[in-house]
Amino acid sequence: MSSSPVTTWSLEQTSPSDLLPAAAPDGDEVRIARAEVPSPEFSRFLYASVGGDILWIDRLSWSYARWQEHLSRPGVETWVAYDRGTPAGYVELEPQDDGVVEIVYFGLIPAFRGRRIGGHLLSYGTARAWDLAERWPQLPPTKRVWLHTCSRDGEHAMANYQRRGYKLFDTKVEEEADVQAPGPWPGA
């Protein structure tokens, strides 16, 4: 099997004041809401639809039970952007030790990219990472929010993170197996 070098960049914010919010898209068409009921079907739909063309494959083999277990953990949240009622993208938050929150997944379904939704969704999701303990009192207050992106992600991902106030703290280059983009369903 062939492989290619993939660069992974890790970025962080260490204070809520680091967040540089993007303006909301014009009009009332875009809204963001939390998916409060853990739904493996919906989460897998978002994961496959957003990541299908940029090689998100690590969760495709997850069973229903594994999705349910993950989504039911205290503090794991999925925030979904809707454009006129249609899911456009999402951000998934996952608390870690000592007040750290990772933005584990973030992105838009391809048809919604380039429409100024991404900056707004990332701003909103980052703000929700900073106030996560307000919704989950068993968690400590957030002290740090971090995420990673890689050279296989969308071409504007890194710039969006940096415009939102994220600072680079680590870079790694590793060989990764070349895989076919799975799309949101076989043949897509």
Number of domains in the chain: 1
pLDDT above 90 for 21: yes
Kindly report which listed range (33-37, 57-61, 170-174) carries the lowest average pLDDT score: 57-61
Model confidence over 39-96: pLDDT tens digits? 999 999 999 999 988 888 889 999 999 999 999 999 999 999 999 999 999 999 999 9
Beta bridge partners of 78: 92
Instruction: Report pLDDT for 177.
Output: 79
Residue 138's domain spans which residues? 3-22+29-177
pTM for this predicted structure: 0.93
Within a domain: residue 141?
Answer: yes
Q: Which is more confidently placed, 154 or 82?
A: 82
Residue 27: per-residue pLDDT: 78
Residue 116, domain member (yes or no): yes
The structure tokens listed for 78 are 């999925």
Residue whose token pair is 């391809």: 110
Rounded to an integer, the average pLDDT of 15-20 is: 98
CATH of residue 17: 3.40.630.30
Block residue for tokens 């949240």: 77
Indicate whether 155 belongs to any domain.
yes
Of 62, 63, 56, nearest to 89 (Cα)? 56
Q: Is the pLDDT of residue 188 over 70?
A: no
Asked whether residue 184 is assigned to any structural domain, the reply reads no
Does 146 have pLDDT greater than 60?
A: yes
CA distances from 168 to 79, 123, 163 (A): 24, 17, 12
The mean pLDDT of the chain is 93
Instruction: Please check whether residue 186 lies inside any domain of the structure.
Output: no
Lowest mean per-residue pLDDT among 5-9, 53-57, 95-99, 158-162: 53-57
In a domain, 187, yes or no: no
Q: Is the pLDDT of residue 183 over 70?
A: no
